[in-house]
Amino acid sequence: MTMEEIIVPIKDDILAFDKLIDIFIMKVQNEKVRINFQTFFKRKGKYLRPTLLMLAAGSIAGNKDKFDEKLYRLGLILELLHSASLVHDDIVDEDLERRGEKTVNQVFGNKIAVLAGDTLFTYAFKEATMNYEKAYTLPITNLALDMCMAELIQANKVESKEDYLQVICGKTAKFMAVACELGARYAGGSELEIARMYNIGMNLGITYQMVDDLIDGDSNAMNYITEADIQYSYVKTKKLLSELNSSPYCDSLFMLLEFIMEMKKK
């Protein structure tokens, strides 16, 4: 199973979203700043968060009637936030390579990289406040705070399973939860449907990060997480997904969950 198979129902939408990234970069007026951003986006990621946004919207609506540029721009906001956090992560972790390319801090130094990350964050907030109402901007703002808090907890030292879970919830799981929440809301879901989709994203994110950390040999995961923890999160996510109406978008979410679990076997 591959990500290409998972995104089949939204393949054209991901392509349209990808063009938004290029347009965003080209509209940056200052050439030096534009080059900073181009360095990071030279090789783009999997677009996991925009993918979740769209699959959640499709799962709630059952079709793509709500798929439009405004939905894609919500995905852009999420991708800019994610990108900003990665630029900062590379500085903190002193990483010199990401996705097979030199990091922003490797090319331009830490000072420029910090400011580039800050600018990406600010672009995301500007886009959100200019074009979306409080039901969208508040979760996005709270997400940014949770991400920063999780980074601080991790930097101060993870000393318990509770600390570890706080870190992965703030850095990854809540991000995926908000992506699912916003997609469900944009599709016109009820508050119950939106909450259910948020919980799906949260548990999917927890499962993903625990698996990814164990694969990477992360010391905190090795100290505090067991196979039973992963299995519990997997089963809980699968149960929540089973409560959704059947659709190609829901099927893709199931496939994504299985894809995450298969990562352990590679």
Q: DSSP characters for 151-202?
A: HHHHHH---SHHHHHHHHIIIIIHHHHHHHHHHHHHTT--HHHHHHHHHHHH
- Report d(CA 175, CA 197) in Å as an integer: 13
- pLDDT confidence of 47, banded at 50, 70, 90? very high
pTM equals: 0.93
Structure tokens at 237: 């996510």
Cα distances (angstroms) measured from residue 255 to each of 57, 143, 261: 16, 26, 10
pLDDT digits (tens, 9 = 90+) for 147-180: 999 999 988 889 999 999 999 999 899 999 999 9
Lowest mean pLDDT across 6-20, 94-108, 132-146, 171-185: 94-108
List of E strands, the chain: 97-98, 101-102
Cβ atoms of 170 and 157 within 8 Å: the answer is no
For residue 10, give the nearest of 63, 61, 60 by alpha carbon. 63
Domains in the chain (CATH in brackets) are: 3-265 (1.10.600.10)
Local confidence band at 266 (pLDDT 50, 70, 90 cut-offs): low
Q: Map tokens 């721009």 to a residue.
A: 73
pLDDT at 141: 95
